[in-house]
């Protein structure tokens, strides 16, 4: 066993101290912490750097280091609720009494290899691509990009997901207007780190965990995919629930 370097030992000591402190409490300055452990202030600063990265401490330039507050209250999204006319996002935020809204932008595009495979169409086929940014209390909390094959929705009034009389009702309900029963989607859920672009959009620090969901709706009669989407959610604000208790 090799002993950890001083800056890690100091960080370890601080973790124990922080557990017993109320959020918002001010921590010793780097110079004082250095004296307590007989190291240079730069080493104490590096120990704080570790804890800031871990989310236990926040540092305010010129002011000091402070115990970080509790996790922000979590917003729930409950998926797989057949029969609900609202989109999953709307279900999630209204359950919490929060105010939800979204911005969107649609454009026709061609399917790249990944999207084509997920939709079961030829690479380069025409699709309607829509980018969403979902806001809760004016804070972006969820990003989504959806692709729908134009072969399915083309020539109909529902071609634009969020325009006209059918805005914001979700894919399942909108497809029912075309006489299709899309049922429950298939969702593949991953945990990964936010890219820099995603971190910027979501207002979180880079490297913070996000839920990444690859969702595809199928027409149950034909078995063809009618919509696929990449959904990115803040890990600290969302939990995705599957199934219902009997």
Partner DNA sequence: TCGAATTTGTGCGTATGTATC
Partner DNA sequence: GGATACATACGCACAAATTCG
Which residue ranges make up the site for DNA (CB under 7 A)?
2, 5-8, 27, 29-32, 38-43, 45-46, 48-49, 59-65
Strand partners, 209: 193
Q: Among 84, 91, 193, which Cα is nearest to 136's?
A: 91
CB 157 within 8 A of CB 169: no
Q: Is 243 in the site for a second copy (CB under 8 A)?
A: yes
Q: Is 113 in the site for a second copy (CB under 8 A)?
A: no
Helix axes 6-19, 41-54, angle to 10 degrees: 50
| Whole-number Å distance between alpha carbons of 147 and 114 | 11
Compare residues 110 and 222 and give the one whose CB is closer to a second copy.
Answer: 222
Question: Positive or negative, the Cα torsion across 140, 142, 147, 152?
Answer: negative
Q: Judged by CB under 8 A, which of 17, 103, 192, 200 binds a second copy?
A: 192
Name which of a second copy, DNA, none residue 192 binds, using a CB cut-off of 5 to 8 Å depending on partner kind: a second copy
Compare residues 4 and 124 and give the one whose CB is closer to DNA.
Answer: 4
Work out the number of other CB atoms within 10 angstroms of the CB of residue 85.
11
Q: Is 61 in the site for a second copy (CB under 8 A)?
A: no
Nearest approach, Cβ of 205 to DNA (angstroms)?
12
Q: Is 62 in the site for a second copy (CB under 8 A)?
A: no
Compare residues 24 and 124 and give the one whose CB is closer to DNA.
Answer: 24
3-class secondary structure, 121 = coil
Half-sphere exposure of residue 152: CA atoms within 13 angstroms, side-chain side: 29
3-class secondary structure, 107 = strand
Q: Is 8 in the site for a second copy (CB under 8 A)?
A: no
Residues with Cβ < 8 Å from 130, sequence gap 6 or more?
104, 105, 106, 107, 145, 146, 147, 148, 161, 162
Residues 18-37 that bind a second copy (CB under 8 A): none
Q: Judged by CB under 8 A, which of 18, 59, 208, 230 binds a second copy?
A: 208
Name which of a second copy, DNA, none residue 82 binds, using a CB cut-off of 5 to 8 Å depending on partner kind: none
Compare residues 2 and 155 and give the one whose CB is closer to a second copy.
Answer: 2
Helix axes 6-19, 30-37, angle to 10 degrees: 110
Nearest approach, Cβ of 199 to DNA (angstroms)?
16
Q: Element (H or E) spanning 41, and its range?
A: helix 41-54
Name which of a second copy, DNA, none residue 189 binds, using a CB cut-off of 5 to 8 Å depending on partner kind: a second copy
- Residue 8 φ/ψ, nearest 5 degrees: -80, -35
Contact window for a second copy (CB under 8 A) among 17-25, 92-100, 144-152, 204-212: 204-212
Residue ranges that bind a second copy, judged by CB under 8 A: 53-55, 79-80, 183-193, 196, 206-212, 216, 218-220, 223, 225, 233, 235-236, 238-246
């Amino acid at each position: 066993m090799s002993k950890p370097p001083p800056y890690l030992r100091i960080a370890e000591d601080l973790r124990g101290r922080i557990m017993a402190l109320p959020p918002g409490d001010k921590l010793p300055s780097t110079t004082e912490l250095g004296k307590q452990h007989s190291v240079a202030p730069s080493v104490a600063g590096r120990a704080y750097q570790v804890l800031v990265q871990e989310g236990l401490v926040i540092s305010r330039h010129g002011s000091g280091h402070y115990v970080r507050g509790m996790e922000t209250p979590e917003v729930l999204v409950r998926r797989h609720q057949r029969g609900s006319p609202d989109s999953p996002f709307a279900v999630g935020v209204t359950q919490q009494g929060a105010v939800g809204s979204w911005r969107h932008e649609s454009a026709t595009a061609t399917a790249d290899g990944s999207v084509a495979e997920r939709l079961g169409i030829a690479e380069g086929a025409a699709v309607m691509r829509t980018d969403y940014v979902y806001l809760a209390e004016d804070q972006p909390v969820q990003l989504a990009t959806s692709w729908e094959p134009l072969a399915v929705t083309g020539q109909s009034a529902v071609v634009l997901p969020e325009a006209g009389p059918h805005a914001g009702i979700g894919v399942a309900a909108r497809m029912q207007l075309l006489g299709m029963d899309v049922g429950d989607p298939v969702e593949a859920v991953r945990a990964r780190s936010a890219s820099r672009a995603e971190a910027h959009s979501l207002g979180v620090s880079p490297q913070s965990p996000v839920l990444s969901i690859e969702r595809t709706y199928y027409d149950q009669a034909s078995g063809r995919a009618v919509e696929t989407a990449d959904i990115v959610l803040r890990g600290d604000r969302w939990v995705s629930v599957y199934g219902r208790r009997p």
